[in-house]
Amino acid sequence: MRTNIEQTLDAAAVTTQAIREFVQEWAAITTPTRVEVVSAADDARLIQEALDAGELLRAGEGRYYARSHVNDTARSEARTVVATSNPSDRGVYNNWHPADEVTATLRGRMRAASAGKTMYVVPYLMAVPGTPLAPFAAGVQLTDDRTVVLHMIRMARVGLHLFDDLDDPDFFVRGVHVTGDLDALNQGTPEDQRLFATIADQRTILHYGSAYGGNALLGKIAHALRLASYDGWVSGRFLAEQFLLLGIVDTHTGRTYHVCGGFPSASGKTNLAMTLPPDALGDRYRVEFYGDDIAWLWTGDDGRLYGMNPENGIFGVAKDTNETTNPAAVDAMGPGSGAIFTNVARHDLTGEVWWEGNTRETPTQIEGWRDWTGQLITDRDEHTRNDPWAHPNSRFATALTNIPTLAPAADHPAGVPIDAIIFGGRTSDREPLIRAITDLAEGVYDGLTLGAEATFAAEGLDGQLRYDPMSMRPFLSYPEGDYAQHWLTILGKLAHPPIFAHVNWFQRDPDDGRYLWPGYRENLRALLWLIDHHHGRANGQHTPVGIVPTPDELDLDGLNLRAGDLDRLLHIDHARWGAEMHHRSEHLAQFPNLPEPIRDVHKRITTQFEWR
């Protein structure tokens, strides 16, 4: 007699034996009450079930609201590990652990941990169907949280039919997510039971102890970044990076230029990815959105670098998102979008949502508003009266197709050719507005030494530079020296390599603290110069760390800068850079097996600044 699980898999037409065995194995471990196989077509039904169960609340027409457990609001780097059977995979930042130990620990913690719940089986593809990298994009996530399923439907392509065209439907990432008892996990203590593991060489992801998106949406970060990065290295075929991807269309020539790049936290990555042209340049240029968080990159048959966004949605930080900073995002989460908001403030009667930076002022009529913890604002005492209404890491999730600036080529399986790779970190001094880098090794070196001033004031780190190689520090899955060599190998095959650049929108006046550059939509002007330089239409001026624009090469039409600000924006401070090179030496000294071309670049730049 067939079991209930076998009958469920039969009814859902799960014919792939590997998927059946995977589901049965983990159902026996986690012991859910029932198993359900889902696809994107189930979204409306699952939304209604979540509303009926109180897991979601309405947030206006066709929008929804979720509230996290108060101890489950963000990723935890300390509880996130990469595990393999090979100790040589240990890096500085990947938090490597032995695979057998991690697997045994998680099997123990997950045992019977889904009792009384439904196990949802979520087959997905983290790629455009038909892409050359589709074999690395297939996955099946098991989860005991319905809200996680709804987020996965927004962030990935979901359904068993996606496996039909795969050459080997048994080659997929196996992901298991078990929420656990969030009241009893001892979060943030020495007894913390949470553990989020990517078993890289087994292509398995096991996450226990959270329902927050960054920990629970296994297809997103754990698969499309950590595991895909490892897959790309082992196969020698591609790079998987925490990169934005955008297109700049010159409507006069009809040419589209594609730019990707990495930015550490709070350095403007999402706003740049979804930017609009400045009003003064809007008649000529159009910016098209591909992705704000992840890009997969590979060598095309024509000798160019190609890229694509493997995600099917955005999981954006709500804080400071508004009509000025990111109008495309505001449209994408509008009425009827199906967007899900997490940990923002919500009004009991209207369902309206709000977060810090959504409007210039906090709502003046506070009756009916609840903060992200569920407390009525009117019930706050004198100690909490001025606390934020929304959690600083509050989120919105919405499908790519809701974004008004989405590129027509975003769903092309062949990807798009990459013209430029940029890095950008929030620094108040040292880094000019933009500096172009034409040498491959120097470009990779610049990515490895990428840093941003920390914004974690509560931890006493505010203003300190935190190095974040390629903006991948929390997502690296193998050693940094091998990572750098993999970059050199992949891009070294190109007959027509992209240009590199470093950008910085955050220079401040040392006297009054104001930003020297207006930022946001005006940032496109720096990228237009980069494109002109790459194609020989702008020469720039050479410095020890790359080529910066001359003041007359930037298109500043319609932009009024204070006298002297442009010169400061393009200035290389030799003394400040000399000190920086000393810190970079300490940073790079952590990484064994650093490729010789990277060491040579560092030595060359260091000698030019003669640090004392």
Residues 467 and 495 in one domain: yes
Backbone angles phi, psi at 388, to 5 degrees: -60, 145
265 appears as a binding residue in the annotation: yes
Assign 335 to helix, strand or coil: coil
pLDDT tens by residue, 251-304: 999 999 999 999 998 888 999 999 999 999 999 999 999 999 999 999 999 999
- What gap in Å lies between CA 269 and CA 487, rounded to an integer? 21
Q: What is the pLDDT at residue 459? A: 39
Residues 94 and 132 in one domain: yes
Residues 87 and 162 in one domain: yes
Which residue is catalytic, options 267, 337, 471, 477? 267
Assign 66 to helix, strand or coil: strand
pLDDT band of 530, cuts 50, 70, 90: very high
Q: Which letter does DSSP use for residue 543 in this model?
A: E
Residues 128 and 264 in one domain: no
426 appears as a binding residue in the annotation: yes
Q: Considering the domain boundaries, does residue 456 fall inside one?
A: yes
Q: Considering the domain boundaries, does residue 163 fall inside one?
A: yes
- What gap in Å lies between CA 370 and CA 179, rounded to an integer? 25
393 appears as a binding residue in the annotation: yes
Name the E strands within 274-332. 285-291, 295-299, 305-308, 313-317
Which residues 6+ apart lie within 8 Å of 612 measured at CB? 578
Residues 176 and 258 in one domain: no
Q: Considering the domain boundaries, does residue 19 fall inside one?
A: yes
- What gap in Å lies between CA 95 and CA 477, rounded to an integer? 8
pLDDT tens by residue, 207-258: 999 999 999 999 999 999 999 999 999 999 999 999 999 999 999 999 999 9
209 appears as a binding residue in the annotation: no
Q: Considering the domain boundaries, does residue 586 fall inside one?
A: yes
- What gap in Å lies between CA 244 and CA 271, rounded to an integer? 10
Residues 294 and 247 in one domain: yes
312 appears as a binding residue in the annotation: no
When the pLDDT of each residue in the chain is averaged and rounded to a whole number, the result is 95
Measure the CA dihedral 463/468/470/475, to 10°: -130
Query: Apex CA 474: angle with CA 428 and CA 415, to 5°?
Result: 90
Q: What is the pLDDT at residue 442? A: 98
Residue 389 scores a pLDDT above 60: yes
- What gap in Å lies between CA 456 and CA 157, rounded to an integer? 35
Q: Considering the domain boundaries, does residue 350 fall inside one?
A: no
Assign 217 to helix, strand or coil: coil
- Cβ atoms of residues 159 and 123 within 8 Å: yes
Backbone angles phi, psi at 301, to 5 degrees: -65, -20
Residue at a domain's end among 191, 223, 255:
223
Q: In total, how many domains does the chain have? A: 2
> Where in the sequence is the domain holding 193, given as residue range(s)?
5-55+72-223
Q: What is the pLDDT at residue 501? A: 98
266 appears as a binding residue in the annotation: yes
Residues 250 and 217 in one domain: no
Q: What is the pLDDT at residue 133? A: 97
Query: Does the global pTM surpass 0.75?
Result: yes
pLDDT tens by residue, 555-604: 999 999 998 999 999 999 999 999 999 999 999 999 999 999 999 999 99
Residues 157 and 42 in one domain: yes
Residues 262 and 219 in one domain: no
Residue 371 scores a pLDDT above 90: yes
267 appears as a binding residue in the annotation: yes
CATH code at position 570? 3.90.228.20
DSSP string across 397-430? EEEGGG-TTB-GGGG-TT-EE--EEEEE---SSS
Of the chain, the percentage scoring pLDDT greater than 90 comes to 93
Q: What is the pLDDT at residue 612? A: 45
Q: What is the pLDDT at residue 457? A: 35
Name the E strands within 242-294. 244-250, 255-262, 285-291
Q: What is the pLDDT at residue 456? A: 45
Residue at a domain's end among 197, 223, 249:
223
Q: Which letter does DSSP use for residue 369 in this model?
A: E
- What gap in Å lies between CA 417 and CA 56, rounded to an integer? 40
Q: Considering the domain boundaries, does residue 392 fall inside one?
A: no
CATH code at position 140? 3.40.449.10
Q: Considering the domain boundaries, does residue 414 fall inside one?
A: no
Residue at a domain's end among 196, 223, 250:
223
What is the separation of C-alpha 185 from the centre of its chain, rounded to a whole number of angstroms? 26
180 appears as a binding residue in the annotation: no
pLDDT band of 460, cuts 50, 70, 90: very low
pLDDT tens by residue, 116-145: 999 999 999 999 999 999 999 999 999 999
Residues 254 and 210 in one domain: no
**CB half-sphere exposure, 142, CA atoms < 13 A:** 30
Residues 94 and 204 in one domain: yes
Residues 450 and 587 in one domain: yes
pLDDT tens by residue, 26-84: 999 999 999 999 999 999 999 999 999 999 999 999 999 999 999 999 999 999 999 99
Establish whether 235 is a catalytic residue: no
Q: What is the pLDDT at residue 602? A: 97
What angle separates helix 228-235 from helix 480-492, to the nearest 10 degrees? 60
Q: Considering the domain boundaries, does residue 130 fall inside one?
A: yes
